[in-house]
Structure 1
């Protein structure tokens, strides 16, 4: 029997009371299952942290000794137990080390996706599919009107821009994906990287990911017009609001983060509407529980076919 309260939100985040652990807690807790290393999913100060090798490496880079009091490195597809719940990390395709969390309790399988994507990405493990009775999916872009374009075609837009480009991107995950894609699909561009992104790139290299050619930013270089692409984190991108002699772009799936209407770069690391429908087809759940977005469209779409519960 599916337990309606198997996981539920409290003041610290998404909690499983049947084994006393949290999924991506928002405050430090005793037992934290971390799906991936982005800051909105991986806070510092937890006592016991269960995560993949890559996730722990990125957390250690960001939080130093405070990344965990006790860290448990869990490989993909290797079951482990907390209390009476068996857990298993399944590749999520979002960034290196990102994991879906398959939880089994009293014969019922609950699959927490964390953030995930279906698009091919040379800088992380591809998503893997498992069957589950309950699909607990993020719903950031769970809207029929939202369909992400082909990321390769998006990055190829850079080929038509002949002046230097200031490219805003999040430091962990998106920047590295962009470096790799530019080297593959806009190879005449020279990639410059903000100095705060370089330590993240070093972790990627240690994990075995070859991002391709790039170099740390040099102010003198951007004074030349040689088709440079300077990748910067959001805080730096915003400080260049009045920059001249460059084309400003921000790589994101969000329309409101695009820097201008004439030139956009819609590259998302999340599933869109069609991706979620494909996920449901692959997982074949009896129920769908939605997180981190608006689940109303899914509830209406699956009306009378699959029960949809909106957790947040």
Structure 2
């Protein structure tokens, strides 16, 4: 069958007519396949949700009583039939529980990557390429300028800064789901065994990662009670917090706070300068340009469909390689949830 008859974009998201389900819909629908737990992909309000057990657990923590959907957990590689359409999930390497959705019907196979990356991440399963007729790829960092450095070096850079500036609290902005836990794990791998302080907004998800088998080491709450002389104990320490908290009154409670930010966007110096970031940590949970193009070449699909991000650049690259490609122009997704 033609790929567009199996899966195509609609205002609510990618829709599969023969299966009557959506992938990462941006509006409430009857049945949704969710690739991962970030809020721009995993919204509440659907009739039924199919996802990995980890993604369902993340959604339950984030939405609480709002998450009333019928839930169908499936493990990586487990094959199910949805109204006659074959569906299975494979690791995307983005965050814990993240998956690519593989949809197959009448001899046509489409793989939707969701958000993904190729480099090793101690907090989640490694990306697995799947041969297919159509690859639907994200393109958050779909420009050649975005080539992320080795992650271990970025973790060592942060540790070295705490040693160079032992009088300053290092406030590191990191998204609460995935980025914060990955940053912590990479710091542990580089030998940082001191307690890491976390903003209260991080606690539930860090606790969940621990429950799901991802050890984070000693964590302590980043709280300072006014008038109790606790400020100095944060000198030279690492404090992980939501990016927005760095510019808040909360941040000013710490001793000479040094603002840092863990993001792929820190490759662009102007972005770091605009946010007042002194220590840019180039660490992304999305594929960089080389990972995007290498994935297309490895999967070798008959068609490449590109969504949310720098769509036109990746489409143009594919066309120059002699590949059939198009941009889907889906709306409702953020560049890096930051």
Q: What is the TM-score of this pair, normalised by structure 2?
A: 0.87
Paired residue for 2:242, among 233, 238, 259? 233
Root-mean-square deviation (Å): 1.9
Structure 2 Cα separation of the partners of residues 84 and 173 of structure 1? 34
Alignment of 1:132-151 (within 5 A): 132-151=132-151
* C-alpha distance in structure 2 between counterparts of 1:132 and 1:262, whole Å: 44
Aligned residues: 312
Task: Confirm or deny: 8 A CA contact 1:249 1:265 kept in the other structure.
Answer: yes
Give 1:8 shift: 2.4
Over 3 Å counting, the alpha-carbon distance change for 1:170 and 1:257 in structure 2 is farther
Whether the 8 Å contact between 1:159 and 1:186 is mirrored in structure 2 is no
Q: Equivalent residues in 2 for 1:56-75 (5 A)? A: 56-75=56-75
Partners of 1:189 and 1:266 lie apart in 2 by 22
What is the CA-CA distance between 1:222 and the residue it aligns to? 4.3
Deviation at 1:150, TM superposition (A): 1.2
Match of 1:253 in 2: 264
Is residue 111–residue 136 contact of structure 2 (8 Å, CA) maintained in 1?
A: yes
SS at match of 1:303: helix
| Structure 1: distance between partners of 2:77 and 2:218 | 33
Give the stretch that moved more between structures: 214-223 or 67-76.
214-223
Alignment of 1:54-203 (within 5 A): 54-161=54-161, 162=165, 163-185=168-190, 187=192, 190-203=195-208
> Does 241-250 or 118-127 show the bigger shift?
241-250
Q: Is the 8 A contact 1:179 1:214 kept in 2?
A: no
Q: Is the 8 A contact 1:92 1:125 kept in 2?
A: yes
Matched, 1:310 2:327: yes
Judged with a 3 Å threshold, the aligned counterparts in structure 2 of structure 1 residues 188 and 164 are, in CA distance, closer, same or farther, namely farther
Question: More helix per residue: 1 or 2?
Answer: 2
**Deviation, structure 1 residue 257:** 5.1
Q: Provide TM-score, normalisation by structure 1.
A: 0.94
Mapped pair 1:291 → 2:307: yes
Aligned to 1:8: 8
